[in-house]
Amino acid sequence: MVLLDNNEWIEVRKTNLKYYNDIDLYYRSPAGEILLYKQAGLTYDKSYQDKYPYKGKLYITPEDKLKSLDIIQKEFSRNLTTNLKRKKTSEVKRELVSIVGETLSQPRSGSLRVVPNTVNAIVESYSDQPHIVKNLAIMSHIDYSTTIHSINVMALMINYCFYTRMPEQVTRDYGLAALLHDVGKADDSFPDSILRENRKLTDKEFEIVKTHPKLGADILKEYGKELKVAIPGALEHHEKLDGSGYPEGRTDISECGKILGIIDCYEAITNDERPYRSAMLPIKALTLLKDEVDKGHFDKDIFKSFAYSLVDKDAAKLHD
């Protein structure tokens, strides 16, 4: 039996259990003890489940977290190629939700190191199957969450970068920043119960929400050079050109931060359905964003490029 405090064990998503053949899996007994359920090297398949039936939660040790993510990432890359060839957007999205959800669950554990590989796989697929990436952002999902939002924002960002003919490395960097822009919401210190509220937040709760850009930037800084390019996006995606944004009220916003500010807002108001607020149709959302541009909150040229990228209007005519 591995001796760890109860809060150190990492719960495994049931959808990912098929990837854990080379990793020890543990379960919690009725007495509260953590015991070995499956030894590394044994295949977790239907025959194993039939022989050792258990319907409860399964866990891994923190030491196996990165190993499991590496396995899932490699499997994702293989599946992505297959699903792209078959034009199965729903499968691509399902795999993305799986790996991004695992990655964001413990962002300070070192798990974010696999994220660049995920983004690179999507960027590399764009040239051959651009419609797949575009459809990722508009495909509905039953459980809208920070994970779904982050994937949608990444897809919209990559589409924007290709549309405006940005260099490939910039596209990879901005795609990475988009996928990790809300990583602060996954920090243990951030109360995720606020994100599940089905009512308008109180002023006090909104002040807590306003801490997530700084939390995200702090998490990314822990990774040194590996994720340095994603820091401005995490820190600045709620800043406004006139200084009325948060967390710092800055006006000197990076290009990535400016783009993310628009895309983040657009994705949230077109997909996040709440009892007190309906998701907007794209045209209505763009009208609202145009009002924000007129108020001096968002960059006019970036907004125009983004709006055109959604409908594939000829980029050469952008500045006519």
Domain positions in the chain: 6-45+53-60, 63-317
Residue 281 and residue 270 in contact, taking contact as beta carbons nearer than 8 Å? yes
Q: pLDDT tens across 215-234, in order?
A: 999 999 999 999 999 999 99
41-50, 192-201, 245-254: least confident range? 192-201
The set of residues, in sequence order, having a beta carbon less than 8 Å from that of 293 and lying 6+ positions away, is 299, 300, 303
d(CA 175, CA 169): 10
| Residue 202 predicted with pLDDT over 50 | yes
Q: What's the rounded mean pLDDT across residues 14-39?
A: 90
| Share above pLDDT 90 across residues of the chain, in percent, rounded to a whole number | 55
Domain at 63-317: CATH architecture: Orthogonal Bundle (1.10)
Instruction: Encode pLDDT of 232-260 as tens digits.
Output: 999 999 999 999 999 999 999 999 999 99
- The band of 317, judged by pLDDT with boundaries at 50, 70 and 90, is very low
- Run of H or E including 36: strand 34-38
Tell me, what's the pLDDT at 7? 60
Highest mean pLDDT among 109-123, 151-165, 305-319: 151-165
Across the range 79-102, mean pLDDT stands at 80
Mean pLDDT in residue range 39-63: 92
Mean pLDDT in residue range 135-158: 83
Residue 276 has a pLDDT of 57
Residues 62/109, Cβ–Cβ less than 8 Å = yes
Q: What average pLDDT score do residues 45-61 get?
A: 92
pLDDT above 70 for 264: yes
* Model confidence at 140: pLDDT above 70: no
Question: How far is residue 178's CA from residue 288's CA, in Å, rounded to a whole number?
Answer: 21
Say what the pLDDT of residue 267 is: 94
The reported pTM is 0.84
Question: Does 301 score more than 90 pLDDT?
Answer: yes
DSSP H helices in the chain: 46-51, 62-85, 89-105, 115-126, 130-138, 146-163, 168-179, 203-209, 212-221, 231-236, 255-271, 282-294, 300-311
